[in-house]
Amino acid sequence: MTFQFLVLNRYFSSSPAMAAAIKNVTVIGGGLMGSGIAQVAAQTGHRVTVVEVNENAIEKAKNGIQNSLQRVAKKLYKDKPADAETFVKETLSRLHTSLDLKDAVKDTDLVVEAIVENLDLKHKLFSTIDSVAPNHTIFASNTSSLSIQDIASVTKRKDRFGGLHFFNPVPVMKLLEVIRIPETSDETYEKMTAWGKALGKTTITCKDTPGFVVNRLLVPLLAEAVRMLERGDATARDIDTAMKLGASHPMGPFELADYVGNDTTKFILDGWHQKYPDVELFKPIPLLTKLVEEGKLGLKTGEGFYKYDKGTK
């Protein structure tokens, strides 16, 4: 046995990263983000179960994943339609759906929660599954803005809890923010980071701070754009054009707000406003409130700051 082998052997048997890798994943919530996370996990060889609240939501998630997978396949296998078809078929064979939350976590290595941005609902969910999921199962939230420590507080597995914050559209965006709370064990952190890499994402690490890195910078930008529109400084179209051509952003702030969902942006700002009432940037914006009250949530409802035709991507 060579010295090199001994060293490697010691590393492999003791490194947290080499502890049993994540194979079975349960994604709770099959909306915009959950379906993207499930798709990418299945594409990269994981067995995935998506949990939703009713058949309608399951159908919607399945259709969304099918459409997105076709786009990925077209890009990966441009001139090889047979390979593209195999890729889609094999990915779908690893994807399952369920309405039974407890059953869906009983044999899983990782739970990624992607339900609506509401602390009470997230608490209810995690307290339900904490006593059912196996001991080794890691719990993660994809929250955009809530504190991971607040979410984890209802569980008895804070050492196996963290944040995995993906970006929309998940199949395209290359970043994954990995959030650890003080109790997150090294093994959990290493496993979450290794899983992110297995999904083909570049990971960065951030403390459990409001909005982590990207949203702490991006959401105030969206909020300021809405305030600019409210004041009548410029039209939504001109503000979008300005940021695309003047700052090289791929989407203007109103296109992005409609893409993310105006309800999500409002949930984020309202939560931060409650926690930090003196911060001007987080104060409620009447125009955003009005749009949400009118159900103009953006692309997902067909209207937000802009109107969308059926079938718009």
Determine if residue 144 is labeled as part of a ligand binding site. yes
- Complete DSSP assignment for 186-254: HHHHHHHHHHHHHTTPEEEEE-S-TTTTHHHHHHHHHHHHHHHHHHTSS-HHHHHHHHHHHH--SS-HH
From residue 203, alpha-carbon distances to 13, 191, 195, 309 in Å are 24, 12, 10, 35
Determine if residue 244 is labeled as part of a ligand binding site. no
The strand pairing partners of 140, in sequence order, are 112, 162
Nearer Cβ to ligand CAA (34/171): 171
| Pattern 67-96, ligand CAA, x by CB under 6 A | -x--xx--x---------------------
The least CB distance from residue 201 to ligand NAD, in Å, is 13
Dihedrals phi, psi of 171, to nearest 5 degrees = -65, -20
Dihedrals phi, psi of 190, to nearest 5 degrees = -65, -40
Encoded amino acid at 34, one letter: G
Residues contacting residue 278 through CB under 8 Å, at least 6 positions apart: none
Which of 144, 145, 147, 262 is an active site residue? 144
Nearer Cβ to ligand CAA (75/102): 75
The least CB distance from residue 181 to ligand NAD, in Å, is 17
Give dist(CA 260, CA 264) in Å, integer: 7
> String of b and e for 261-270 (b: at least 16 CB within 10 Å)?
bbbbbbbbbb
Is 177 tagged catalytic?
yes
Task: Say which entry of ligand CAA, ligand NAD, none residue 132 contacts (CB below 5 to 8 A, set by partner kind).
Answer: none
Dihedrals phi, psi of 206, to nearest 5 degrees = -140, 150
Among 178, 256, 269, 299, binds ligand CAA (CB under 6 A): 256
Nearer Cβ to ligand NAD (31/88): 31
Is 187 tagged catalytic?
no
> String of b and e for 37-66 (b: at least 16 CB within 10 Å)?
bbbbbbbbebbbbbbbeeeebbebbbebbe
Among 51, 179, 218, 297, binds ligand CAA (CB under 6 A): 218
Q: Which residues lie near ligand NAD (CB under 6 A)?
A: 28-34, 51-53, 57, 114-117, 121, 125, 142-144, 166, 168, 260-261, 264
Dihedrals phi, psi of 307, to nearest 5 degrees = -100, 145
Task: Say which entry of ligand NAD, ligand CAA, none residue 75 contacts (CB below 5 to 8 A, set by partner kind).
Answer: ligand CAA
Is 183 tagged catalytic?
no
Determine the interface stretch with ligand CAA among 53-61, 66-74, 118-126, 200-208 (rule: CB under 6 A).
66-74
Determine if residue 185 is labeled as part of a ligand binding site. no
Nearer Cβ to ligand NAD (111/236): 111
Nearer Cβ to ligand NAD (11/276): 276
HSE of 207, CA atoms in CB hemisphere, 13 A: 2
**Residue 205 interacts with ligand CAA (CB under 6 A): yes or no:** no
Is 165 tagged catalytic?
yes
Q: So which residues are the catalytic ones?
A: 144, 165, 177, 215
Annotated binding site for CoA: 68, 75, 144
